[in-house]
Structure formats: structure tokens, C-alpha cells
Amino acid sequence: MHILMVCSGNVCRSPMAEYMLRDALLRHGVSDIDGDGIAVSSAGLLRLDPRPMDDVCLRMLADESRIDGVGGVDPAMHRSTPIYDTPYMRSTGTNILVLCFERDHIDEILLANPALVRSTFLMTEFAELCTAARRRGDFDSGDVSGPDDAASRLLTVMRNAPFLRPGLPPAADIPDPFHRSLNDYRNAYDAIRDCVDDIVGVLP
């Protein structure tokens, strides 16, 4: 399974989410070393030349002790990647989860590739869906198809999303903190961290 984080420029929100989630998955013993686990990456919708992660975001990751080689990769080595330079805009939507930070991101992705309609979510919405699925007992009732592993549980949340959504409040965007106040960066960081915690909360 592949989880793709997508924001505007791939220098703030999506790379922070990428490294936070990769770190959280590894702490749960989940990786993609053999190609049958969960891989995590990030991309941006803007067609920018390769840029490093925003300095403030790097410092926040470092303060949380998440920068010391997460998954064998140093976030300081991150360089932004336009999503149009990846294979995901041609994906059939099978075995991929796309997590965005604004509704406009979803609109642009689905305009380019409608096949991703069942695989693309706001990160805040998917986190809420994970919590709702766990509370509803989706993983206690034998509803997980195939092996009861991390990828299967996330795929179960995706499959059950239409039934879970009606009971949830509207999901919120996570605003872009780029070149804004430190408080804006902190708000974005904390919102992403909370989402990651909710997502890994469904893991076996």
C-alpha cells in the first residue's frame, strides 16, 4: 500500500506529514522494506523546482526528535516533488491512499484523475474516519478483508468511508503556514500530529 501526502508546494505540510507518519508506522513495526507493507511519500500540486523542506518545519520535527533518520531518511534531504512528476496521477486508485490538506487540493487531483475519487481524502477527514471505524468496532467484527494487518485496516476505513461520513462533522482544512507566524506553523504541526495519531490508532 502507498500513502501519498499532497499539499501545495510540498515544502511544509505534506513533508511534515510524510515523516511523522513514517515514524509512527515504524514505531508500530510497519514498513515497506519487503514491498508488502506501507510506503509513505509526499508531493505538491505546484510545479516548483526542487526545494528543501521549510526551515521552521524542520526545526519542529527536530524538537520532537523525529528528524534523526526517520525510516533511514533524513528529512533535511527532502526536496519538493510536483505530483505531476510522479506516477500517481495515472493511478487506478487501487492500493493507494491520498491525503490532502485543503478541499481545493482534492478538487485538482480528481480533475486530473477521477479514478482516485475513492482513495482521496482530507487528512483531517481520514483521521476522523479512522476514529469512527475504531469506535464502531469495524476491526472487531471480522470486517477486515484479508490479513488483519495495517494496510488491510486502512483499506477497510477507505471502503467503509461512505457509511461512516454521515455521522461525522464537516472536516477542516489545515491551512498553509508557509512564511506566516510561528503560531500558524505550530497549529499546522499540531493538527497533522493529531491526525497521524488517529490514523495509527487503528493499527493492530
Cα angle 159-94-108, degrees, rounded to a multiple of 5: 90
Distant-in-sequence, close-in-space partners of 33: CB < 8 Å, separation ≥ 6? none
pLDDT reported for residue 144: 47
pLDDT reported for residue 71: 52
Domain coordinates of the chain in residue numbers?
A: 2-198
Helix (H) / strand (E) containing 96: strand 96-100
Each of the 204 residues of the chain gets a pLDDT tens digit; together they read: 999 999 999 999 999 999 999 989 988 888 776 566 899 999 999 999 999 999 999 999 888 755 555 555 688 899 999 999 999 888 998 899 999 999 999 999 999 999 999 999 999 999 999 999 999 999 885 554 455 789 999 999 999 999 999 999 999 999 999 999 999 999 999 999 999 999 999 998
pLDDT reported for residue 74: 81
For residue 52, with 0-12 CB atoms within 10 Å meaning exposed, 13-18 middle and 19 or more buried, which class applies?
middle
pLDDT reported for residue 12: 98
CA distance 81 to 42: 8
pLDDT reported for residue 28: 87
Edge to edge, the sheet with strand 120-122 lists 39-44, 2-7, 96-100, 120-122
pLDDT reported for residue 14: 98
Is 18 strand, coil or helix?
Answer: helix
Q: What is the CATH number of domain 2-198?
A: 3.40.50.2300
Distant-in-sequence, close-in-space partners of 162: CB < 8 Å, separation ≥ 6? none
Exposure letters 89-116 (e unless 16+ CB within 10 A, then b): eebebeebbbbbbbeebbebbeeebeeb
pLDDT reported for residue 31: 79
